[in-house]
Structure 1
Amino acid sequence: MSDYQYFLSEKTQIDELIGKGFVITHVTENLSGAIVDFVLPDKAEKQQLHITTADARKYFSRYLLA
């Protein structure tokens, strides 16, 4: 799979979680990407994504700044 396809896959996962009402609560950067913790506030449900592409890391950062 190309880098662009990896980015689209990660972007879709981020969009799905944000669309369901999840919010980003914690980000851990490491050499292999970023671990992003999402929480659904009213149900306290948690999800975690491992984001590996630089473009997807830039993409989720816009939600942090919003």
Structure 2
Amino acid sequence: MREHQHYLIEREKIDYFIDRGYRIHGITENLSGAFIEFRLKDNKTDEESTEILHIQTPDGRKYFSALLLKQIQTVS
């Protein structure tokens, strides 16, 4: 698979979680890519749902970094 196609799939997965209300809670990077921890808190029950996504492409890392900065700016 070409790298650009791989990036498009990663972006789609990131957008899937963001669109459903998940927020980026943590990031772990290593030589095999970045692992993004998404969390969704249910305000009615106080339960949290956690999902982890593995991002391998440089463009995917740039994309979630931009979303993280936007998320931080909206909280401040």
Question: If the length of structure 2 is used for normalisation, what is the TM-score?
Answer: 0.84
CA deviation vs aligned residue, 1:12-59 (integer Å, no higher than 9, x gap):
000000000000000001001000000012241110000000000000
Cα distance in 1 for residues equivalent to 2:65 and 2:12? 15
Instruction: Count how many residue pairs are aligned between Structure 1 and Structure 2.
Output: 66
The aligned counterpart of 1:54 is 58
Structure 2 stretches of 5 or more lacking a match?
71-76
AA at the equivalent of 2:55: I
Percent sequence identity over aligned pairs: 47
Contact residue 34 and residue 51 of structure 1 kept, 8 A: yes
Structure 1 stretches of 5 or more lacking a match?
none
Question: If the length of structure 1 is used for normalisation, what is the TM-score?
Answer: 0.96
Cα distance in 2 for residues equivalent to 1:13 and 1:41? 19
The aligned counterpart of 2:17 is 17
